[in-house]
Structure 1
């Protein structure tokens, strides 16, 4: 009797899923899809490829089915949108803010931090964290930005004239910067804990790749019984231990500073004295202390999120910027002239005001981010039936994929899109360009909260390197091989650094 009842419930449940899935497909009948779909598995074979092949497949599909198409993975429908108009529909409103199953493996690491949270929780966290990225706070980080840039230059001087893969060098640099600025925690270039942390990140990325090419791991508890589960546990132990060590030490330090600040407020002899500026972790600890707006678990979520996102995206951007500048010697010399003019030929660290004058360097960074956006793919769940610019419908519950790299290489918007041309970002050349045709930091309500931080860091370190070294290209855009991972990856980016006379 019980077996019969369970069987009936199972049949009704899966019938409901099947009918909903059929209704979704009916609504989306106007969208094209690639051929070769399996009845049960859908387009799984398109994804069961190494990261470099996966990137090429997506690129070809985007060129063939512009401005949108969909692929099916089992019963999950995934709509790929490529036009700025359609990107705006999904990114410009508070709707469609839920992250897709694509982010599931990162949820076990980053949990419900700002990147993956939604609704009221996301709004509350964004409100708490926004002051941490005010320009008055960022200006306080200039000493760290410049000091770490100097340490990086000292390291590069020992490798002058050699072919260097810049990616690991910039990873260590940017991790130190985010830890010392946003977390207020001192590090050293020789700190082995940083390298262990970075190694664990690379391990998680490999698991992410397995997750993409084996989408059945998404369903039920299959992942927990796979060979990847134990490996992930080991990586997560390293990653969480690294950030929790920082948090616990800062909590002790914060209590001492909080007592000092309270004494300053209550002591008339300190009237008019400014309180110290607080970094992101300080703000989280204050929110925890004052009214318990965020608990300890929430602090861990945000520190994990910003330690990962805040260093990995910047280091990737630095690597591609270095490659592009190295491959364009005329532009590189123009940057040197601009820097010498701003700094008046002095051997000094740039100020905040100096950065605002680095127009050509900023355009080079923007153009590099157009060609090689660190976060090259973002994904959302459609919260409701949504009509695209063409009139086609994306059904509620479908996954929406936005391949930013393809959006940035639309020849109708960016003529000769493969060419590195910083003049695309001259004010007169930006007139009339669709605001959602450029998305290196996403856009709309869920845009990157740290984009101003990233641009400042990029300008400071690149200006320091270019003033000290001539960058000589080893790898070119044609020699590197892209890998479709969570962050845009390649098989390495080699550059020579020749000391300027």
Structure 2
């Protein structure tokens, strides 16, 4: 009897994790390319690409290299799910019309990251998402964010001068360095407080974020997670799982105390004076009378969302822009020349930097930390570019594929900022450049990210001559975002005596 039960369980397992997914896989593979391996197909393929090409996304970035044989999608499996990565502009265009309605965030990977993001804007849905988006939107309007420029400049100056005064200029981890700036910017924009003196368990908050995201990313690779999801981690079977859970709870509790204290301070000021001097997300929520519609837990979840999302994505974007510019002597000199020219012309603003803007756009195109959407699960049958996509299929908009499409971009795998200055990209078709997603759930923080990126890059090339690590080979893997396997290390030499 026991033997029969074992065979029955094995049969059910084989059907749901092998036979059924493989049948669905074959049904969709005819529209493009694909890879199937029981349970861990996506992991096997990405690891293979990393080992062979140094980039987990290599196969998706190169899927459209042959214009005569364009592929609509790449099909693969993870767990019992079939995942379709959309790789053509027509498929992606239709995809965004369904996001938020018939497409909702798939929880296979995200359920673990939800432990830190909670139910903030990224993971909320329906009316709750609409209401929160409406309440937070005023704080991300471009005109309001422009007022933050001087504060962003001060934060960048402070961090860069600290590195110079402490002579920490050899083998500098650029992503970590810039994270110190971006974390302070996001914290200041949300609460109006300086992050400079705030330490969590003896470390900076930027360090804490890096530790948390790295640990959460590692956990989704464990076999127990593949089989049982985040429930397996919450059981606390292993010491490292319990330690991370305790660290997470202490980190969130630490932030919650800061939020409560700041909210009380600003509400008191508003009651007594009818205004709030500090311009930040929290003050806008109070003045717009929206604070009463948000619990302290809602505020915490959204601070975590903005803090972690804004810190990690922007720091990677800026660091990769520096990396790509430093690979080409001509681009490097053009960037420094533009910075020096605009410093001398007081009639110009930091926004008048055409070559730097081209560098930023080209980095967003070729690397962009947001060049793929969150995995979305189909909640009811839909049709994308005349192809029926069945309920429970997982879809991902792989903008990386479109950003590398030779029918859209000349020399698509080369870093060429000039394409954004000449006529080459003047008439791009819709959905050909989507570094901040599209549709209802596009990135609410994109204007802040662009302002930050422009200012910090300007400061960086003004402050330093930059020498990249010799013989460095860029390899890209996944954490929460695509990121270098080995740290981006640079030697920095001050260009001016900034300390005086």
Quote how far apart the aligned CAs of 1:467 are: 1.7
The separation in 2 between residues aligned to 1:52 and 1:26, in whole angstroms, is 25
The separation in 1 between residues aligned to 2:207 and 2:249, in whole angstroms, is 12
Match of 1:60 in 2: 59
Quote how far apart the aligned CAs of 1:206 are: 2.7
Structure 1: gaps spanning 5 or more residues = 1-10, 265-274
Match of 2:206 in 1: 198
Residues 80-95 of structure 1 correspond to what in structure 2 (within 5 A)?
A: 80-93=85-98, 94-95=100-101
Report the 3-state secondary structure (helix = DSSP H, G, I; strand = E; otherwise coil) of the residue aligned with 1:182: helix
1:235 aligns with 2:247: yes
CA gap of 1:189–1:150, structure 2 versus 1, over 3 A, is farther
- What are the superposed Cα offsets for residues 415-457 of structure 1, whole Å, 9 maximum, x if unpaired? 2223221112126222332332222211122111111111111
The separation in 2 between residues aligned to 1:479 and 1:37, in whole angstroms, is 29
CA gap of 1:259–1:56, structure 2 versus 1, over 3 A, is same
The separation in 1 between residues aligned to 2:162 and 2:96, in whole angstroms, is 41
Match of 1:282 in 2: 283
Residues 167-178 of structure 1 correspond to what in structure 2 (within 5 A)?
A: 167-178=175-186
Quote how far apart the aligned CAs of 1:145 are: 0.6
Match for 2:135 among 128, 131, 141? 128
Match for 2:232 among 222, 225, 250? 222
Quote how far apart the aligned CAs of 1:217 are: 4.4
Match of 1:293 in 2: 293
Residues 42-441 of structure 1 correspond to what in structure 2 (within 5 A)?
A: 43=41, 46=44, 49=47, 52-53=50-51, 56=55, 58-60=57-59, 63=62, 66-93=71-98, 94-101=100-107, 102-158=109-165, 159=167, 162-188=170-196, 191=199, 195-201=203-209, 202-212=211-221, 214=223, 216-219=226-229, 221-225=231-235, 226-227=237-238, 229-262=241-274, 276=277, 278-285=279-286, 292-344=292-344, 354-378=349-373, 379-389=375-385, 391-426=386-421, 428-441=423-436
Quote how far apart the aligned CAs of 1:336 are: 3.1
Please identify, of 480-489 and 87-96, the stretch whose mean Cα deviation from structure 2 is larger. Answer: 87-96
Instruction: State the Cα RMSD in Å.
Output: 3.5
Quote how far apart the aligned CAs of 1:327 are: 2.3
Please identify, of 151-160 and 25-34, the stretch whose mean Cα deviation from structure 2 is larger. Answer: 25-34
Structure 2: gaps spanning 5 or more residues = 1-10, 65-70
CA gap of 1:15–1:70, structure 2 versus 1, over 3 A, is closer
The separation in 2 between residues aligned to 1:35 and 1:325, in whole angstroms, is 35
Quote how far apart the aligned CAs of 1:19 are: 11
Report the 3-state secondary structure (helix = DSSP H, G, I; strand = E; otherwise coil) of the residue aligned with 2:436: coil
CA gap of 1:17–1:316, structure 2 versus 1, over 3 A, is closer
The separation in 2 between residues aligned to 1:82 and 1:468, in whole angstroms, is 40
Contact map agreement 1:384 1:395 (CA 8 A) in 2:
yes
Report the 3-state secondary structure (helix = DSSP H, G, I; strand = E; otherwise coil) of the residue aligned with 1:354: coil
The separation in 2 between residues aligned to 1:336 and 1:45, in whole angstroms, is 41
Quote how far apart the aligned CAs of 1:243 are: 2.0
Match of 1:272 in 2: none
1:494 aligns with 2:489: yes
Report the 3-state secondary structure (helix = DSSP H, G, I; strand = E; otherwise coil) of the residue aligned with 2:419: helix
The separation in 1 between residues aligned to 2:470 and 2:302, in whole angstroms, is 36
Contact map agreement 2:192 2:278 (CA 8 A) in 1:
no
The separation in 1 between residues aligned to 2:37 and 2:17, in whole angstroms, is 19
- What are the superposed Cα offsets for residues 176-197 of structure 1, whole Å, 9 maximum, x if unpaired? 1111222211222684668353
Report the 3-state secondary structure (helix = DSSP H, G, I; strand = E; otherwise coil) of the residue aligned with 2:440: helix
Quote how far apart the aligned CAs of 1:250 are: 0.8
CA gap of 1:22–1:34, structure 2 versus 1, over 3 A, is closer
Contact map agreement 2:267 2:286 (CA 8 A) in 1:
no
Report the 3-state secondary structure (helix = DSSP H, G, I; strand = E; otherwise coil) of the residue aligned with 1:445: coil
CA gap of 1:336–1:468, structure 2 versus 1, over 3 A, is same
The separation in 2 between residues aligned to 1:25 and 1:382, in whole angstroms, is 15
Match of 1:3 in 2: none
Report the 3-state secondary structure (helix = DSSP H, G, I; strand = E; otherwise coil) of the residue aligned with 1:483: strand
How does the TM-score come out when normalised to structure 2?
Answer: 0.83
1:448 aligns with 2:454: no
Please identify, of 16-25 and 371-380, the stretch whose mean Cα deviation from structure 2 is larger. Answer: 16-25
The separation in 1 between residues aligned to 2:442 and 2:362, in whole angstroms, is 19
The separation in 1 between residues aligned to 2:24 and 2:192, in whole angstroms, is 49
Contact map agreement 1:380 1:399 (CA 8 A) in 2:
yes
Report the 3-state secondary structure (helix = DSSP H, G, I; strand = E; otherwise coil) of the residue aligned with 1:435: coil
The separation in 1 between residues aligned to 2:168 and 2:205, in whole angstroms, is 27
Contact map agreement 1:98 1:381 (CA 8 A) in 2:
yes
Contact map agreement 1:28 1:393 (CA 8 A) in 2:
no
